[in-house]
Structure 1
Amino acid sequence: MRTKLIALLICELIFWNCLNQSTILAQERASQIRESRSKNFVMRSDLSAEESQELLKRLETMLDLVSKYWGKKNAGIIEMYVVKDLSVWSPDMMPANAWQSVSTGGGLTITQKRSLGRVWQAKAVVYAIADRGTPQHEAVHAYCGQAFGSTGPVWYSEGMAEIGKYWAGPDDKTVHCDPYVIKYLKTSPYKPLQELVDRDQFTGDSWQNYAWRWTLCHLLGFNENYSQRFKPLGLALMSEQPRISFAAVYGTMAKEIEFEHKMFVENMDVGYRVDLCSWDWRTKFQPLRGSRASSVKIKADHGWQASRLEVTAGERYSYSTNGEWTLEEDGEEFTADGNDTGDGRLIGVIFNDYELTKPFELGTDGTFEAECDGKLYVRCREDWSKIADNEGTITLKLQAAR
């Protein structure tokens, strides 16, 4: 009996010792989680004080950009839980689905919306891993949820959250996404437009799908052919207006969007500008007849530009140019022959039924034979991501070859 009592006391001591150690460990963990605040955020994290302030600064900058873009102030303090070292945290510190997302290297924003007739109020809480972009991505969701009551369909919600993560300034239209994302997009099978806007998508599927949605939102948001419709569409989607969808707004332009989206994905890199590469769908093209000539000015800092010439397969055309352009601000001036490596040279391509021929060499003057029927587009040859600082124009004259 005495032996059993001693054994029981030992077990009890072990139990209380373990409990005390667990309590001490929990207290040590909790002591590493600190609260930091800024104008629009209250953040609980295991980041250092310096890291916390740096992240809050990025979040405030991002929030300022997106709130100005959508034209609505943040509706309330955004609460965030940002995890650097998961071992510091315990599962009971956040909802199970948030813990699952964070523990797999992602994030989750939970928005609760309460309505009373037409009046509603929403509160969003962010849970995110402390990598370079996830807190910003999730904070865009939180802003949209609190400001509009919804983040819209998955393609728009996740695509715009990625834009918010990468956006560098109010007037900045440059691609800034991570190089590994660009590599993935350019080496993967192309995703058709219909697949990107499919209603059966779900959030949190993969960073790869997020990347594809970003390409579409970036194109529609900054390409001059589509940007005017894009913001009103987004506001309507987040406000859950009836009968509003991608198809309702852009359905008649689907072929044009698909064409430009493919071109964007094929040519993008850090520094690419979709606004400068917007395709000219409006210029009228016509064939040359007799000795009549056609003249057009070509900008060095733009992508493919309309020549106004409609060519016929097998026909020969002559061209001449006048003027000079540069491949950098205040750089060396070149004619349409470009430099010794071929950069800055005038090149052409033929557009036919939403397909392009391979680019072909032009230059200051000469002749070329059209390989197919179509519309001639031309540009100053340089890496697509570097054309923004080009300067100057060249006048191109075209006529039927004699």
Structure 2
Amino acid sequence: MNHASLVAPRLSLFHRRLSPLEKMGRNERCWCRSGKKFKHCHLVREALEPINVFEQEQRMFAELRNGYCSLPAADPCSSEIIKAHTIQRRGGLAAISDSNHVLTVKPRMRDMIQSSGKPQPRKIGLKDASVFPGFCSKHDSETFKPIEGKTLNFELSSAFLFSYRAISYERYSKEAEGRFNAMMREVADRGQPFRKQAAMQSFLYDVSVGIEMGKRDMERAKGNFDNLFLTGGYDGFHYCGVRFDRVLPIVACCAFHPEFDLSGTRLQQLGQNKVELDTVTLTVTAFEGNTVAIFGWIGPDDGPARSLSDSLLAIASDRQADALIRLLFIHTDNLFLNPTWWDGLPNKHKVALNNMTRSGTTMRERTAAEYSNATLDLFPAEAMEKVAE
């Protein structure tokens, strides 16, 4: 079924763009659209002390530690909001670790600057990998206990829990992106001449438009999952699970709008706001020496999410792991790698995968060729069990 977004008009940013003005009336609303008067905003911005980007990053991290419990239930929360793992620490993360460390593709500010915007994966300890302050300790342990054991059977109930955790993480991440962007719009151009102020504010404003659209979409998707969680039913929820014959060198937990399937066929058109987009969750983790990949979604059984999962199943069983790895590098930074595997990859493969982490950003558009690029031999594994409901 062709998604309605494929024929919807693209959203034009032209009429939304900032119109920077070096001179304004002191009491006029500032051109940066902060809502403040010019005299309290950009009138004196050039005279302010420039920020230290590393100190600002630390302030951002401190701000983002303020979380909340994502569970909608009336059952009272415990007092502590914890660093909840989106991927189980003892199973999935530990299975791919070297000396209790994995690699993360999520860069720090220092990495971005030192690499001229092309950072490499970096080491991170298991206790800090894949965490977010999105649940209280009580609801994190009680809600996800059925999928935290040593074994996993593909069932509708367990697939739903993987999806619920993924959508909760993505909803929080979009909110965090919005908070960070707002902080940067306040301080990033301090001490800069007007020309740089205009360029930086215009870039950050354009980014904020995309963030707000993403927040809206994830809030809607989270609301749909909350409704099913509260009723205890699974009406409209579908999933696809694949179990591999060994542990793949990656784990991940994410939710996204599938733009292309793994043959390169376009499924949805982003950058429009007339049609609701379909969202799919994807969790990749390990149980009993085998990696499992679980797609989940609420919506039509013949829409973009099903087309994406079907396109994985249509690939030869011994190449599905490669396709899955590509898909994760394209769509999420909540992705963790085995250090030995990464170090052993040919340099051209590392370059290709690193480029995929920047797909869908202001640096690089996603392309059909990335999804269907079967020339990258990334990891030998066989898909040995497949379930779709």
Which has the larger Rg? 1
TM-score by length of 1: 0.22
Q: More relative contact order in 1 or in 2 (CA 8 Å, sep 6+)?
A: 2
TM-score by length of 2: 0.23
- The structure where strand makes up a greater share of residues is 1
